[in-house]
């Protein structure tokens, strides 16, 4: 399948070498959409869940006797202690802090932020971390606004995952379009071996029962195709290992009587062309988005000549 007449018709390639050259020459630099930057509902939802406690903490801003006020606040409203870690852009709820190591032993102090935590210990943590000083100096005017900024910053860590999600979303559009267009076709997103067997009575081999495959497609003839997708805007060792893993998947699923389609894209492959070419030569089908757009995915899934 790495070369057949469908490639000549769709992208004008006359042999496997030309197909691989087309694959590499048409890698996209980006698939970044407007949802890449910030997951606004997630950020606003997180702040909303903490808003009452953050407003209670606002009483500390500018106080001269801030430690006394904080201890009294945590005693009267113990639930407020739970939001302290996020003020330092942390998701953890417990911290083991190194206090001393100069006397021949490493000494740690543990701090917790549940409702039963000692108010004095929480105040100590806020003092030692520098948080109380910032509030006392009024460098923070509103903890609700401040935490909204923190949540936006923490959410930026999810951009890498959003890149992968964007590729899945794009691929699903094309998979769904093919299935909707062709009677008798169906697909399962985030497919597991159990889902596939229950839906179509097809048993597939996986290294772990929890393994999720981006898409499983069953065509009118009853053929099952397993599809994995990814996008690499930059290079790195991950690309080489992924290419090797999909060689194993191809052999495993071919033994199960399933087709395997790897849809990958991104300029990162330009720095790692050799592993990509090695996998291209060892599995049946690698497509980029340009090839999918040209109709090759539909031709392969439907078994069109």
Regarding whether 163 and 22 lie in a shared domain, the answer is yes
Regarding whether 62 and 21 lie in a shared domain, the answer is no
Regarding whether 204 and 136 lie in a shared domain, the answer is no
What is the pLDDT at residue 15?
A: 94
Which residues does residue 213 pair with via DSSP β-bridges, in sequence order?
191
What is the pLDDT at residue 11?
A: 96
Host domain of residue 137: 40-157
What is the pLDDT at residue 170?
A: 95
Regarding whether 171 and 104 lie in a shared domain, the answer is no
Listed residues 157, 179, 199: the one ending a domain? 157
Regarding whether 20 and 88 lie in a shared domain, the answer is no
Regarding whether 110 and 246 lie in a shared domain, the answer is no
Instruction: Tell me the per-residue pLDDT of 273-283, one tens digit each, with 9 for 90 and over.
Output: 999 999 999 99
How far does CA 35 lie from the centroid of its chain? 13
Listed residues 134, 157, 180: the one ending a domain? 157
Regarding whether 142 and 120 lie in a shared domain, the answer is yes
Regarding whether 46 and 31 lie in a shared domain, the answer is no
The pLDDT confidence band at residue 163, using thresholds 50, 70 and 90, is low
Residue 42 has pLDDT above 90, yes or no: yes
**CA distances (Å), origin 140, targets 73, 149, 276:** 18, 11, 51
The C-alpha atoms of residue 139 and residue 68 are separated, in whole angstroms, by 20
Query: In this structure, what DSSP letter does residue 103 have?
Result: T
Tokens of 43: 């950020």
Residue 1 has pLDDT above 60, yes or no: no
Beta strands 213-218; 224-231: pairing state: antiparallel
Regarding whether 165 and 152 lie in a shared domain, the answer is no
How large is the average pLDDT for residues 75-100? 95
Regarding whether 143 and 108 lie in a shared domain, the answer is yes
How many independent structural domains does the chain possess? 2
Regarding whether 204 and 134 lie in a shared domain, the answer is no
Instruction: Tell me the per-residue pLDDT of 247-302, one tens digit each, with 9 for 90 and over.
Output: 999 999 999 999 999 999 999 999 999 999 999 999 999 999 999 999 999 999 99
Residue 304 has pLDDT above 80, yes or no: no
Instruction: Tell me the per-residue pLDDT of 95-148, one tens digit each, with 9 for 90 and over.
Output: 999 988 888 899 999 999 999 999 999 999 999 999 999 999 999 999 999 999
Beta strands 224-231; 259-265: pairing state: parallel
Residue 161 has pLDDT above 80, yes or no: no
Beta strands 107-112; 186-191: pairing state: unpaired
Neighbours of 103 (CB within 10 A): 7
Listed residues 106, 134, 157: the one ending a domain? 157
The torsion angle over the Cα atoms of residues 46, 51, 56 and 58, rounded to 10 degrees, is 80
pTM of the entire predicted model: 0.78
Regarding whether 152 and 164 lie in a shared domain, the answer is no
CATH, residue 238: 3.40.1350
């Amino acid at each position: 399948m790495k070369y057949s007449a469908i490639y000549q018709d769709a992208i004008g390639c006359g042999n496997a070498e030309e197909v691989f050259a087309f694959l590499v020459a048409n890698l996209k630099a980006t698939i970044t959409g407007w949802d890449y930057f910030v997951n606004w509902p997630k950020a606003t939802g997180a702040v909303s869940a903490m808003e009452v406690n953050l407003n209670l903490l606002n009483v500390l801003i500018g106080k001269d006797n801030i430690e006394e006020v904080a201890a009294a606040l945590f005693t009267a409203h113990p639930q407020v202690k739970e939001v302290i870690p996020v003020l330092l852009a942390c998701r953890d709820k417990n911290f083991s802090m190194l206090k001393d190591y100069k006397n021949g032993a490493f000494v740690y102090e543990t701090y917790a932020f549940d409702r039963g935590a000692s108010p004095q210990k929480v105040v100590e943590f806020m003092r030692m971390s520098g948080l109380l000083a910032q509030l006392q100096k009024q460098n923070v005017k509103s903890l609700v606004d401040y935490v909204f900024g923190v949540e936006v910053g923490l959410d930026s860590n999810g951009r890498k995952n959003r890149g992968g999600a964007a590729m899945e979303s794009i691929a699903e559009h094309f998979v769904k379009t093919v299935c909707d267009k062709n009677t008798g076709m169906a697909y399962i997103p985030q497919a597991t071996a159990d889902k596939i067997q229950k839906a179509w009575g097809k048993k597939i081999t996986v290294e772990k029962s929890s393994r999720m495959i981006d898409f499983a497609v069953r065509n009118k003839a009853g053929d099952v195709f397993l599809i994995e997708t990814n996008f690499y805007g930059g290079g790195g060792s991950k690309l080489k290992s992924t290419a090797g893993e999909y060689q194993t998947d191809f052999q495993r699923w071919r033994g199960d009587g399933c087709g395997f389609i790897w849809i990958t894209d991104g300029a990162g492959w330009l720095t790692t062309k050799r592993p990509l070419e090695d996998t291209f030569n060892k599995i049946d089908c690698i497509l980029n988005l340009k090839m999918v757009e040209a109709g090759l995915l539909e031709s392969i899934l439907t078994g069109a000549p």
